[in-house]
Structure 1
Amino acid sequence: MTSRLFAAAAIAAALAASGCNKSDNANSTPAQPAEAAKKAGNQTIADALDKNGRFYQAAHAAGLDSTLAGPGPYTVLVPKDEAFASVQGALAEPAKPENRAELTRVLTYHILPGTVLIDDLGKAVDNGKGKALVQTMNGQTLTATKEGGKVVLTDTSGGKATIVEGDQQRSNGVVQYVDAVLAPSADKGAAKK
């Protein structure tokens, strides 16, 4: 546990040293420079997402669409619709009210506090000697690495998602599209590690 905290602190320091601004969050997620945020216009993350897309429909069912319309800043890892083809459980049937808690747990694993650009992740991986821990809004971490020049995020069970399209800046953050759905740890205590 101590090595994980040390690694997280080292990544935060690496991001800060690479010229990223830190957000006011205690977890030291990098924030987007204000000038770049101005270029994003007035459209929020929620406004920009495809309303017919699987991620937006799940976020709406969980009540997270209002969060993604809020001030942020957030970085949202949006799985492409094709990535939902193999999911089971709450994500397969987001409209069921009994799935709301699980939807929230999974979807907040796809949201990072602050604005994190692909270049930020790449620099953190380089400064972390090949990997970087990334804090999510549900309190758990993802591990960022590079494969074939692309940033890959690995979940707690070893599942991987590659950022396939990204840095879509919005007024309240940024959207990064990934090719897989990431799964947080089922252990409720894992968020505190």
Structure 2
Amino acid sequence: MNKRMISLGLAVGLIALAGCNKNQEGKEAAANGTEAVKKAGDKTIAASLDANSKYASLAKAAGLDLTLQGAGPYTVFVPDDAAFDKLPPGTTEDWTKPEGRPELTRTLTYSILPGTVLAEDIAKAIDNGKGKAELATMGGEVLTATKDGDKIVLTDAAGGKATIVKADDTMANGVIHHTDAVLMPNKAS
């Protein structure tokens, strides 16, 4: 019960950032997201990642695999391996070096939202925001969500775009949305 209340509170809080908390529809969407996660079983986000994927190896290098094994809940935008291949040559290799770990951590936490936010929740936030919703990340920055037809498109701080290609993989501690690009935070100063 307590875990459910925390999850619902975080989901409703995120929707509030997107301007949806003023209506019952947004609150119901957040509650539905929490229910979907509750039905997901015991598998965590970390346990559900393909151990051979680039995201899983980078999350482990950043120490985020332990976070994604925790209670959460979290919403994680996971790029496919092809998305990492689109980065400039040497980027992922540089991130795994000790001096690159802070940038790796910033990049990965930029694609994690606190709480459980299903694709339906994001779509409603976009509709209620007149075509745009801002999503606060665990990295302390903002992603902008819009629609392209029936697809949800996320725009990062650099103006790069990632489309959710597979949504709502619900786990015991949150939800995964698979994307076709790596979301990049603001450049570190």
If the length of structure 2 is used for normalisation, what is the TM-score? 0.84
In structure 2, distance between residues paired with 1:179 and 1:15: 29
Q: Secondary structure at the match of 1:84?
A: helix
Corresponding residue number in structure 2 for 1:20: 27
Judging changes above 3 Å, is the alpha-carbon distance between structure 1 residues 16 and 170 closer, same or farther for their aligned structure 2 residues? farther
Deviations 1:18-68 (A, max 9, x none): 24379xxxxxxx576443222110000000001110001100000000000
In structure 2, distance between residues paired with 1:135 and 1:113: 8
Conserved? CA contact 2:17–2:136, under 8 Å: no
Q: What is the aligned-residue RMSD (CA, Å)?
A: 2.2
What's the CA shift for 1:15? 4.8
Q: Secondary structure at the match of 2:66?
A: coil
What's the CA shift for 1:173? 0.2
In structure 1, distance between residues paired with 2:129 and 2:140: 21
What's the CA shift for 1:87? 1.5
User: Which structure shows the bigger proportion of residues in helix conformation?
Assistant: 2
In structure 2, distance between residues paired with 1:12 and 1:119: 13
Corresponding residue number in structure 2 for 1:170: 171
In structure 2, distance between residues paired with 1:43 and 1:32: 19
Judging changes above 3 Å, is the alpha-carbon distance between structure 1 residues 151 and 55 closer, same or farther for their aligned structure 2 residues? same
- Give the aligned length: 174
Judging changes above 3 Å, is the alpha-carbon distance between structure 1 residues 9 and 118 closer, same or farther for their aligned structure 2 residues? closer
Q: Secondary structure at the match of 1:180?
A: coil
If the length of structure 1 is used for normalisation, what is the TM-score? 0.82
Please say which of residues 107-116 and 31-40 is displaced more in the overlay: 31-40
Judging changes above 3 Å, is the alpha-carbon distance between structure 1 residues 43 and 155 closer, same or farther for their aligned structure 2 residues? same
What's the CA shift for 1:132? 0.5
Gaps of 5+ in 2: 1-13
